[in-house]
């Protein structure tokens, strides 16, 4: 158990760096104009992710879920300071 408590901060760092990297690799489709009803001239068509972009999107969701689980685990395993 002590090994897990000692390794959790390193696991959090690795997962967070990977999550930031995956987020930065994704295509930015939402610009500021799109937030206010404007657009980039696409006529309001929906955008479908395909291929590697879809893999990045799903991997980001999975890694974000792992990040939340690891942080909750760290919170539960944290020993109170006496």
Asked if residue 76 lies in contact with residue 46, where contact means CB atoms within 8 angstroms, the answer is: no
> What is the pTM (predicted TM-score) of this model?
0.71
Q: Is the dihedral of CA 31, 34, 36, 41 positive or negative?
A: positive
Report domain extents, the chain.
2-77
For the purposes of burial, counting CB atoms within 10 Å of the CB of 82, is it exposed (0-12), middle (13-18) or buried (19 or more)?
exposed
For the purposes of burial, counting CB atoms within 10 Å of the CB of 2, is it exposed (0-12), middle (13-18) or buried (19 or more)?
exposed
User: In the predicted model, is pLDDT for residue 33 greater than 70?
Assistant: no
- Taking only the tens place, the pLDDT of each residue in 46-77 is 778 788 889 999 999 999 999 999 999 989 88
The confidence score (pLDDT) of residue 31 equals: 55
């Amino acid at each position: 158990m002590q090994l897990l408590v000692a390794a959790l901060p390193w696991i959090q760092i690795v997962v967070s760096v990977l999550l930031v990297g995956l987020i930065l690799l994704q295509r930015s489709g939402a610009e500021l104009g799109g937030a206010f009803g404007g657009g980039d001239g696409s006529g309001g068509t929906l955008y479908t992710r395909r291929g590697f972009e879809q893999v990045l999107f799903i991997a980001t969701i999975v890694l974000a879920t792992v990040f939340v689980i690891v942080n909750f685990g760290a919170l539960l395993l944290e020993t109170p300071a006496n």
